Amino acid sequence: MIQERINFLRNELNKYSYNYYVLDNPLISDFEYDNLYKELEELEKQNPIFITPDSPTQRVGGISTGFKEVKHKYRLYSLDNTYNYDELRKWYEKITNEFGNNVELVCELKIDGLAIALAYKNGSFVHGATRGNGIIGEEITQNLRTIKAIPLKLFENADVEVRGEIYMPKTSFEKLNDENILRGEKPFANPRNAAAGSLRQLDSSITAKRDLSMFTYTPIIERAKKQPTTHWEGIQYVKELGFKINPNIRLVKNIEGAIEFCKEWETKRFELDYATDGVVIKVNNLAYQNELGFTSRAPKWATAFKFPPEEISTTLRDIEIGIGKTGAVTPVAILEPVNLAGSIVSRASLHNFDEIKRLDIRIGDRVLIKKAAEIIPKVVKVCDSNEHNNLPEYDIPHVCPSCGEPIKEVEGEVNLYCLNPNCPAILRAKLEYWVSKEAMDIDSVGPSIIEKLYNLGLVQAPIDFYKLTTDDFLKLDLVKEKSANNMYNAIQESKKKTLSKFITALSIRNVGKETAELLVNEIPTLDAFKSVSIEKLSEIDGIGDKIAKNIYEFFHNEHNLKTLDEFKTYGFEFNNSIQIRTDELAGKTFVLTGTLQSMTRDEASDIIKSKGGKTSSSVSKKTSYVIAGESAGSKLDKAQNLGVIILNETEFLKMVGME
Ligand SMILES: [Zn+2]
C-alpha cells in the first residue's frame, strides 16, 4: 500500500516536473506540487527502505570532496567550424559527391554552454560527466541531478547515453551577478562561466539553487523500444523519453536550406534567453553518418557555422545624458562606430551611473561592447590600457541637462531622476511615447515634428495633439498641405484606439503595453479605473504592489483626472475598446505566433476579439487554436506537444470569413 502510494506520488511529481521544466508548461500550482512533494518526503522518511536514487526527493545530495576523472564510454568529438557560407557549401559538396544530391541535413542552434554526457540504465539516470577533453571528463552526477530539466527517470526503461548542453538563462545570469555584486563578490563574465562555476560546486545544494537548464542532443541508443534511422527521428525520440530539446531545430533538404537557417538566426538569436554562438549542421541519415565517420578530432558528417562575434572593443567618445518619460536620467555611451554582429553600432547602454563608477568608465577609454538579448548593445568593461589612468574620472551630473533642476535619488530605484514635472525633456519624451507604435501609434508624427511643435509652444502635453488644426501643422518648416492633412487625420484616427493602448500611452510608471493589457482585461472602462481600489489592482495577476500603487496614484491625481475628462470631450471612444460584432468565436482562446503576411498580430487579435474570441500570449491546454505565421517558435512546438489545433494564416482567414 505504502509503496504503491510512493510510486504514485513519484510518477505524479515526475510528470509535473517534466511539464514545468522540460515543456515549459506548468500543469499545477507550486503549492499543489509542494504538497505532493512533502507527502512523498514524509512517506520516504518513515519508510527509508523504499527510497531509490531516481525519486524526485533525491535531487540534492551531499558535499563531495572533489571530482573524479572518468573515461567516456563514447568519445565526445569537437566540431569543425567556419564563419563562411562557401566553406559550408564545400563541406556539403564532399558529402553529395559520395551520396548524390539532396542529402538531408538537420540544423540545430549551437548553445554556448557546457557539454556533458549523461548515461541512463533501465530508464534511470546513473552517471553524468563533463566533456573534459572528449576522452576523459569529470564525474559530476551529484550536481547534474539537481538540474530539473535532466530527468532522473525516463518514460521508458531504456539504456541510452545522451549529450547535452548545460546553460544558464541570460535573465538568471544577470540576477545572479546582481546578487554577487551586492554581496561584494566578483561577477561572472558571461552565462557560460556562471553555468560552469555552478556545476563545479562541491556542495550540490549550491548548484541546486542556480537556475541551470539543459538542451539534449545526439542520443546514443543502446537498448530501447525504437531504433531511429535518422538524426531527426532520434531527436524526436529523445523528446518522447522525457528530455528537453531545443525547439529551434529544422530538417532541411540541402545546404542552401541550412544557410537560410543560419542567416535567420544570426539576428534572431538576440531574442533568445540563452546564448547561442552558431548553428550545428548534421547529416540526417544515420547510415550515411556511419559511412562518413570521423577525422582524428571531429565527425565528417557534422560541421558548425559560427556567428560573427557579439563582443568588440571601440573608443568611448562621450557620455550623453538621456531623460526618459518617467524622468529617469540615464547615461548613454557615444562610441566610435564599429561593426558588431552584423550591424554598425555608435551608441550603447551604460545602464546607470553606479555602473559607470563600478567599471570606472572614463570618456576616451577603450571599451568592450556586447550585444545581448536587448537590441541596444551595452558596455561591458573597460579594456586595459595605459591611457586609462591619464583620463579624468567621470563626474556624475548633479543637475538635469534639460531643465537645470537637481537630479535626485528615488528610494528603491537604481536610476537617478529629474523630478521636475515641467522638465522639457520629460514632456518631450512623453509626447514621443504617445505617438509610438506601442502606444497610440501615430506614425506620421515623428520626433522631429514633435520637437518643432513643442518649440513653437503648440504641444506641451499629449492632450494638445487633439487641439491642433491643419493650419497649425502648416506653421512648421517644410510641412506642406498634404502631410499636414495626413498628420491631422492620423491624430483624429487615434481617438478610436483601444483602451489598453490609451492606458499604455499615459506613461504611468512601470505600466507598459503588456501591463496595460492585463489591466484592461479586468478593468474594461476608463471610469472603472478611477474607482478601482488598490487592493483590487494588486489582486490582478501580473500586477505587483508597487505597480498597483503607481496606477492608483495616477488615477487619484487631480490634474490627471482633469486631463482624462478633457480627452473625453475630444471624442475618444476607448470605453468599449473593441466592438464585439459577432459571437462566432465565443469561448475560443487563440495564441498568435510568428509573422503573418496579410496583417500584424495586433490586427489579427482585434479580429478575434471582434468576433467574441479571446487571445492569450502563452499556449496551454486551454488554448483552442494556435495561429502560426512565418518563423513561429517555441509556442508552435508547445502546441504540437499539447495537441492544440494549429492553423496557418490562410486557414485562420477562412475561419473568420476573410478569404
Ligand atoms: Zn529636467
Report the distance separating Cα 118 and Cα 226, nearest Å. Answer: 19
Cell numbers placing 372: 545581448
Per-residue confidence band for 413, with pLDDT thresholds at 50, 70 and 90: confident
Backbone angles phi, psi at 426, to 5 degrees: -70, -45
Q: What is the pLDDT of residues 515-549, one digit of tens each?
A: 888 888 778 788 889 889 999 898 887 788 888 99
Closest C-alpha to 642, from 18, 10, 34: 18
Q: Which of 110, 153, 371, 497 is catalytic?
A: 110
Per-residue confidence band for 343, with pLDDT thresholds at 50, 70 and 90: low
How far is ligand 1, taken at its centre, from the CA of residue 424, in Å? Answer: 7
The pLDDT of residue 581 is 57
Per the listing, cell 496557418 goes with 648
How far is ligand 1, taken at its centre, from the CA of residue 437, in Å? Answer: 25
Q: What is the pLDDT of residues 604-633, one digit of tens each?
A: 888 888 777 888 888 888 888 899 888 887
Closest C-alpha to 540, from 565, 520, 510: 520
Report the distance separating Cα 504 and Cα 451, nearest Å. Answer: 22
Q: Do domains 311-409 and 424-496 have the same CATH topology?
A: no
How far is ligand 1, taken at its centre, from the CA of residue 331, in Å? Answer: 14
Strands (E), 324-401: 328-340, 343-349, 366-370, 378-382
How far is ligand 1, taken at its centre, from the CA of residue 329, in Å? Answer: 9
Beta-bridge mates of residue 130: 116
How far is ligand 1, taken at its centre, from the CA of residue 407, in Å? Answer: 8
pLDDT, mean over the chain: 88
Check: CB of residue 624 under 8 Å from CB of residue 588.
Answer: yes
> In 10 A of CB 560, how many CB atoms?
15
SS3 content of the chain, % helix, strand, coil (to 5): 40, 20, 40
Per the listing, cell 568588440 goes with 312
How far is ligand 1, taken at its centre, from the CA of residue 468, in Å? Answer: 26
What is the pLDDT averaged over residues 10-39?
A: 84
What is the pLDDT averaged over residues 235-252?
A: 93
Residue 162 pLDDT exceeds 80: yes
What is the pLDDT averaged over residues 41-56?
A: 88
How far is ligand 1, taken at its centre, from the CA of residue 325, in Å? Answer: 11
How far is ligand 1, taken at its centre, from the CA of residue 373, in Å? Answer: 30
What is the pLDDT averaged over residues 281-298?
A: 92
CATH topology of domain 499-569: DNA polymerase; domain 1 (1.10.150)
Q: Where are the domains of the chain?
A: 2-58, 81-306, 311-409, 424-496, 499-569, 589-655
What is the pLDDT averaged over residues 433-437?
A: 92
CATH topology of domain 424-496: DNA polymerase; domain 1 (1.10.150)
What is the pLDDT averaged over residues 77-101?
A: 91
Would you put residue 631 in left (φ > 0), alpha (ψ -120 to 50) or beta? left
CATH topology of domain 2-58: Helix Hairpins (1.10.287)
How far is ligand 1, taken at its centre, from the CA of residue 136, in Å? Answer: 61
The pLDDT of residue 577 is 47
Which H/E stretch holds residue 598?
A: none
What is the pLDDT averaged over residues 70-98?
A: 90
Per-residue confidence band for 5, with pLDDT thresholds at 50, 70 and 90: very high
| CATH number of this structure's domain 589-655 | 3.40.50.10190
Report the distance separating Cα 44 and Cα 51, nearest Å. Answer: 6
Could you give the count of Cα atoms lying within 13 Å of 86 in the half-sphere of its Cβ? 0
Instruction: Name the burial class of residue 642, with classes exposed (0-12), middle (13-18) and buried (19+) by CB atoms within 10 angstroms of its CB.
Output: middle
How far is ligand 1, taken at its centre, from the CA of residue 503, in Å? Answer: 24
Homologous superfamily of the 311-409 domain (CATH): Nucleic acid-binding proteins (2.40.50.140)
State percent of the chain over pLDDT 70. 97
Residue 345 pLDDT exceeds 80: yes
The pLDDT of residue 540 is 82
The pLDDT of residue 659 is 67
Catalytic, 513? Answer no
Report the distance separating Cα 241 and Cα 123, nearest Å. Answer: 9
Per the listing, cell 512523498 goes with 40
The pLDDT of residue 145 is 92
Count of residues in the chain: 659
Instruction: Name the burial class of residue 202, with classes exposed (0-12), middle (13-18) and buried (19+) by CB atoms within 10 angstroms of its CB.
Output: middle
Per the listing, cell 504617445 goes with 434
CATH topology of domain 81-306: D-amino Acid Aminotransferase; Chain A, domain 1 (3.30.470)
The pLDDT of residue 51 is 86
Q: What is the pLDDT of residues 377-409, one digit of tens each?
A: 889 889 888 889 899 999 989 999 999 999 998
How far is ligand 1, taken at its centre, from the CA of residue 402, in Å? Answer: 5
Q: Residue type for 322, please?
A: G
Q: Residue type for 166, please?
A: I
Report the distance separating Cα 79 and Cα 83, nearest Å. Answer: 13
Per-residue confidence band for 21, with pLDDT thresholds at 50, 70 and 90: confident
Report the distance separating Cα 511 and Cα 547, nearest Å. Answer: 7
Cell numbers placing 157: 526503461
The pLDDT of residue 568 is 86
Q: What angle do CA 346, 349, 353 make, to 5 degrees?
A: 130
